Structure 1
Amino acid sequence: MANFTLTFQQISGGLDLPLVKVSDWYEYQEGKRGKRLGTQYLTLRIANGCELLAVRVEDAEAPVISQEELDKHNTSMNFVLARFEGFTARPYVDRAGRMQLSAKADRIVLVKDGAAK
């Protein structure tokens, strides 16, 4: 497979992405969980049939939003939108033979009514 990366613009179709889930991102060695590396944000790619995309962001602090707060927004259909800075995504084929994307970013920016907060 060719080695290339995709930008946030290419992945999102120019749209901010709704957040679905927030979780800690850990390093794994020999099947055991190691140190915390950052946060993994699960998003919906609206421009691509609502496919899920996990974006990992290295950080030393807590996530920019808690899962509890995100759940409140999503339950009321008032979705939290995000964009990512320093974003790169690489395609790969998983064990089942499906094309997937591995995505990382330097920073997440939450968007409220068209303005970053």
Structure 2
Amino acid sequence: MAPSAKCADVYVGYPVPGSFSYRVPEGMEVVSGTRVKVNFGGRNITAFVHAVHDAPPPGVELKNVLSVVDDAPVFDDRLIDLTRYVADFYLSSVGEALATALPSGERSSSRFKNPFQREE
């Protein structure tokens, strides 16, 4: 793995504790607050990026982020803090709480095209 590789910490919408780290391939832009596609448990799923680091943890082999779902962040640090509180209170995972907190249109794993928006 190249020493300049970035690493993204993501929450998944499953009942699992903590977050998971994935390698960000060269040329891909990933920022905190966006959703990405990752391989988790043999399935390609949508995950929520809550942190991006300049280097992966030493001695760990990471899977790659497959693609970026959003062009801009769909959540911020305040929503992460709220979902951490909700997850602790209701004994769920942060990823489950975050998936529930997003508006239903944002939960979709595919990009939404507004039929009323004029194309330029």
Q: Using structure 2 for the length normalisation, give the TM-score.
A: 0.33
Higher normalized helix content (fraction of residues): 2
Higher normalized strand content (fraction of residues): 1
